[in-house]
Amino acid sequence: MINISHVTKEYGDKKAVDDISFEVAKGEIVGYLGPNGAGKSTTLKMLVGLLKPTSGKISVADYDAETELQEIKRQIGYVPEEAHLYEHLTLVEHLQLMGRLYHLDEELIAQKVVELTKLFDMEPQTNQRISSFSQGMRQKCIIMSALLHNPSVLLLDEPFTNLDVNTVTFLKALIQRMADLGKTILYCTHILEVAETLCPRIMIINEGKLIANASVAELREQTNQEALNEIFVQLTDTTGVDEKTDMAVRIVMGVPSDA
Amino acid sequence: MLEKIASLFGIPFVQYKYLLHTENTVSKRAIEGRPHVSNILNYVFGFIISASFFYIPLLTDISIYNYALIGITVSMVMIAIWTLPYFDILIYPINYPIVAHTPISSRTYFFVKLTQILSYTIKLLICLNLLPAIAGIWVRSEEYPNLQILFPLVYLTIAFISGFFTIGVMTTFAGFFTKLYAHKRLRSFAKFSQGLFPFLFSSIWIIIYFLPKNIPADTVFDGLSAAAIWFYALPNGWFAATVSVMLAQIEVIYLILTALATVSTTFLVLVPLQSIAKTYSKYLTYLIETDTKQTSMMKVKISKYAKIIKSRTILAGLCMSSVYFYRDKRMLHGILAILGGTGGFAFMLMQADSLHLGWMLKSYSSGLNITFFVLSSFFGVSLMSAFLSNVRYSEHWKASWMFKVIPLTTPLDLWRGSQITSILYIIIPYTLLLSAIAIYFWGVTGILYVLPTLVFILYNMLFHPKPASGLPFSEEINPKKGIMGCAYFIYFNLAMMVFIFILFTAYWIDTSVYFWVYCIIVVGGLIGFVYLFTKKQRNNTVESQT
């Protein structure tokens, strides 16, 4: 469903994404992990057409990103890392706007808006302006708009940020159900526990390079580590945790490095 | 009947009935032990004041407008004064902790409060206006004396509307008043006014009645009539004019005032209702919403333009721009500032003779008045540009990512939606306003003076600079950029000069030539505009298909 081949994204001299290639099959949930600034969000932005790759080839649902980007966009539901929204709109107006831009029928939009707001416990906020929303409510608003047009691919960039435990539990179940229904999900996160339980396959990106692409069991075997966070640290952190902690204590205490 | 109305609004009737009863009791108890004027005393006051109205038509030959003006002014002032001390009791849900633990929806609570306000206002309005309405039958009406029998009906209707308008104004400013003065001071002021105003009003009538015989009462009323003109600028003047119009006293100024009364009432009744509803939702969000009926009643309003506009993208642009039109304060301030200028322009034209500016109204031929064209075009284009320029930029520009991840085949359609908003919300109302002004000066042919301006504004809208990406609300606000770009301003002035030059050249050649040129410019201009506006859409669609 998602096919990325030798994709590179350069910002001047810096390579945010460096020659990565991977595939995500239909109905698969893949966890996309990496430290801050590793290139996760950049990859997702290239997939959704917000950024153009410097080189390489991207295709989604057999549509080529270079020539058939509009078709790709039609297939994708995207939850970005930062929840920027038009704050003078109410929740209903925002969802109607999104529905119209996806060319959905007015009646269908109305029906979906009623049901989605009820599902996400946002009924009391339907006619309130987004400017009055908490961060969690904004996140729900973005998730609802990503689901509105029944996308076949979901690109989720830290979708559980600021959400309460109940909503996270519900969303985890929803993501699993979506995958069962044949939707493809690429899930970017820092919450390794969720990735471990939700994603049969994990990809780890570090400094723009894809350094792991396997199931959790395979990663355990490769690294001789049990927990995913230990695997993650081993693969991405060149400085050991103990060494780093010692250094931090020394800096805080003001002890010279040669002491 | 009441049950049916309640179910229509999704309110459980039994809950509503008992809550209303409880709230009435609680409201009464809330003012017990505090200094206040009782409601019954207010109603009696109302009858006493309004009884004096029987003097007025018998004393002198007062006109319908002046009579209605006095009656409606008294009614509006009294309503304003009497509702002032009730803000904290009726408008703010101070009793919400009493019912907060019960399964009552905020909607039910809101309607209970609304019923309380309305029933109190209606009782007051009846006391204040019933007698003046009956006394009005004896007011002279030279044009259509037979219509006087309708006076009570017309007067009562308008007086009621003016009462609701007053409640609207008071509710809108409730927050402002309560911020400015403490509740206690407001209540003291209201109590003081409740006594003072009826006293002053009664005193004036007694003085007029017992005036020395050598000062005829008519002279006094002539003076009052001259002063009444100043009330054209106030809402009580607008409502009095509406009474006159409905009793066949058709004058242009009365028609304008009636339109003002209609628009302002609609606006002011809707805005406070929304404001109260918001206050309630803020206070009552934690009321337990157990009423299944209410949740199933939740409906999403489908845009009224959805059936007319086929393109979903244009519709999205139109709906979004129209929301930002009145919610984005930056945009609204720009438009209001220019509207102030437009008002000044209208006033200047109306007072042209007294300001020794009669030359401004000079017409060379029908539809050819330079001052009117230049000023109306300038303000019209400025209004339109204040809106469209602000549609380009937005404080929420970072949210434009959503337009970029959506498969927009024709991004310019979003901009086109904004252009349609400017036509619906700015150009059409502005043209109607100009038409009213032009008809005031030149009669029905005044429309001919407005049409060239309309064509000019429409083309300016069509060629107004678009956002670089074609997407509205997607550029960061840059204070260095003025409302109108420099190049656009130069283009605007040049185009205006060319427009005037063509019309005047034709006029100097011959009046009949001018007539044909005028027709070509206006008719051709409008047809051309429709063609260009829809042509761009067709081009967009073709591009998207390829």
User: Within this chain, do residues B275 and B317 fall inside the same structural domain, yes or no?
Assistant: no
Mark which residues 170-209 of A lie under 8 Å from B by CB: none
The shortest CB-CB distance from B399 to any of A50, A71, A86 is to A86
Q: Do B404 and A113 touch (CB under 8 A)?
A: no
User: Within this chain, do residues B51 and B113 fall inside the same structural domain, yes or no?
Assistant: yes
CA distance A208 to B193: 75
CA distance B459 to B479: 27
The listed range with the strongest mean pLDDT (A169-178, B66-75, B138-147) is A169-178
User: Within this chain, do residues B270 and B324 fall inside the same structural domain, yes or no?
Assistant: no
The last residue of a domain, from among B291, B322, B344: B291
Best of B278, B300, B397 to substitute, by most chain A Cβ atoms within 10 angstroms, is B300
Instruction: For B299-316, write each residue's pLDDT tens digit.
Output: 778 788 888 888 888 999
User: Within this chain, do residues B253 and B368 fall inside the same structural domain, yes or no?
Assistant: no
Average pLDDT over residues B405-432: 89
User: Within this chain, do residues B396 and B444 fall inside the same structural domain, yes or no?
Assistant: yes
Question: What is the predicted pLDDT for the residue at A248?
Answer: 85
The residue assigned the tokens 């007011």 is B139
Give the up-direction half-sphere exposure of residue B120: CA atoms within 13 A in the CB hemisphere: 27
User: Within this chain, do residues B210 and B246 fall inside the same structural domain, yes or no?
Assistant: yes
Residue B306: inside a domain: no
User: Within this chain, do residues B233 and B330 fall inside the same structural domain, yes or no?
Assistant: no
Instruction: State how far the alpha carbon of B480 is from the alpha carbons of A129, B396, B477, B488, in Å.
Output: 29, 18, 9, 15
Question: What is the predicted pLDDT for the residue at A23?
Answer: 92
CA-atom Rg of chain B in angstroms? 28
Q: Which domain holds residue A245?
A: 2-253
Residue B104 confidence (pLDDT) above 70: no
Q: What percent of chain A has pLDDT over 70?
A: 98
The residue assigned the tokens 């009539």 is B225
Confidence of residue B294 (pLDDT cuts 50, 70, 90): very low
User: Within this chain, do residues B283 and B320 fall inside the same structural domain, yes or no?
Assistant: no
Residue B297: inside a domain: no
- Mean pLDDT taken over chain B: 75
- For residue B529, the tally of other CB atoms under 10 A from its CB is 16
The shortest CB-CB distance from A110 to any of B295, B300, B327 is to B300
Confidence of residue B278 (pLDDT cuts 50, 70, 90): low
Surface-to-core class of residue B546, CB atoms within 10 Å of its CB (0-12 exposed, 13-18 middle, 19+ buried): exposed
Q: Residue count of chain A, please give it.
A: 259
Confidence of residue B423 (pLDDT cuts 50, 70, 90): very high
Give a three-class secondary structure readout of B128-144: HHHHHHHHHHHCCCCCC
Residue A258: inside a domain: no
Question: What is the predicted pLDDT for the residue at A196?
Answer: 83
CATH number, domain with residue A149: 3.40.50.300
Q: Do A92 and B300 touch (CB under 8 A)?
A: yes
Q: What SS3 state is found at A7?
A: strand
**DSSP E strand stretches across chain A:** 2-11, 14-24, 29-33, 55-60, 63-64, 76-79, 153-157, 184-188, 201-206, 209-215
CA distance A98 to A86: 11
Question: What is the predicted pLDDT for the residue at B328?
Answer: 82
User: Within this chain, do residues B343 and B254 fall inside the same structural domain, yes or no?
Assistant: no
Residue A259: inside a domain: no
User: Within this chain, do residues B178 and B235 fall inside the same structural domain, yes or no?
Assistant: yes
Q: Considering its fold, how many domains does chain B have in total? A: 2
Q: Do A73 and B407 touch (CB under 8 A)?
A: yes
Question: What is the predicted pLDDT for the residue at B193?
Answer: 65
Regions of chain A where pLDDT drops below 70: 237-239, 257-259
ipTM score here? 0.82
- Partnered with residue A64 across adjacent β-strands are A59
Amino acid at B477: I
Q: Considering its fold, how many domains does chain A have in total? A: 1
Residue B544 confidence (pLDDT) above 50: no
Min mean pLDDT across A3-17, A43-57, B442-456, B480-494 is at B480-494
Q: Which domain holds residue B89?
A: 12-291
Contact of A120 with A143, CB cutoff 8 Å: yes
Is residue A106 less than 8 Å (CB to CB) from chain B? yes
User: Within this chain, do residues B284 and B319 fall inside the same structural domain, yes or no?
Assistant: no
CA distance B467 to B389: 9
Distance from CA of B8 to the nearest CA of A (A): 19
Question: What is the predicted pLDDT for the residue at A163?
Answer: 87
